[in-house]
A and B are shown apart, each in its own frame.
Chain A
Amino acid sequence: DAKTTQPPSMDCAEGRAANLPCNHSTISGNEYVYWYRQIHSQGPQYIIHGLKNNETNEMASLIITEDRKSSTLILPHATLRDTAVYYCIVRGRLYGQNFVFGPGTRLSVLP
């Protein structure tokens, strides 16, 4: 079973920030939080991952709470092309610990 819970759907206005929450209350100390997204009928696309510090790359920012029980993926200026299913996944860093995808959040960016 997935170790995360996410809202099933969210809307965001184009040009505004999209904030996608994820709860992972049972996360253990050596487990990372990964985010992927899947645009309709394409393969999942890696976005970002983090352990306990906030992370930022060219696609998004990841904010992890101090107790690490939840996180938020931030798309700073959402565009219509960001409409997708966003998956939050908790996984250990060691090889052999595989990704278990939950249902994800379907983000709709509206014009």
Chain B
Amino acid sequence: DTEVTQTPKHLVMGMTNKKSLKCEQHMGHRAMYWYKQKAKKPPELMFVYSYEKLSINESVPSRFSPECPNSSLLNLHLHALQPEDSALYLCASSQGRASGRTDTQYFGPGTRLTVL
């Protein structure tokens, strides 16, 4: 099973709202990732968590706040977003540091976010 689930599938929010995106995997993976994908562009890495600790932040604005409450869950908290933040937000997971082989990432279906 290589399934990563994301909720919600679609989200519309105003610039003053606070919302959260959720990602879950039950593959025992210890690395989890958030990517952002604008229309007709490739995915771009935002954050990497390894063993529930933030290991990479690709200079993402503070209005995006990631959280990894346990090894299976990854959240992305959103606050005071701008219309240009509208995009597909993708979560991925991989075995992480413990993998003795190549660390293949498996992606969820994404959350389509629209900021009005």
Contacts and interface: CB of A to CB of B under 8 A. Distances in A.
Mutual binders A and B: yes
Given A49-B102, A93-B102, A43 B109 contact: yes
B31 A102 contact: no
B110 A41 contact: yes
Contacts of B55: 96
A: contact size bracket: 20 to 34
B88 A41 contact: yes
B42 A87 contact: yes
Contact of A45 (B88, B96, B107): B107
Contacts of B97: 95-96
Interface in A20-60: 32, 34, 36, 41-46, 49
A43 B35 CA distance: 10
B94 to A, nearest CB: 8
B: contact size bracket: 20 to 34
Given A93-B102, A96-B56, 12 more contacts: A2-B42, A32-B102, A41-B88, A43-B90, A44-B107, A46-B2, A93-B101, A95-B97, A96-B48, A99-B105, A102-B42, A103-B42
B43 interface: yes
9 contacts: A34-B104, A41-B110, A41-B112, A93-B103, A95-B103, A96-B50, A96-B97, A99-B45, A104-B42
Interface centre among B92, B102, B107 (most CB of A within 10 A): B102
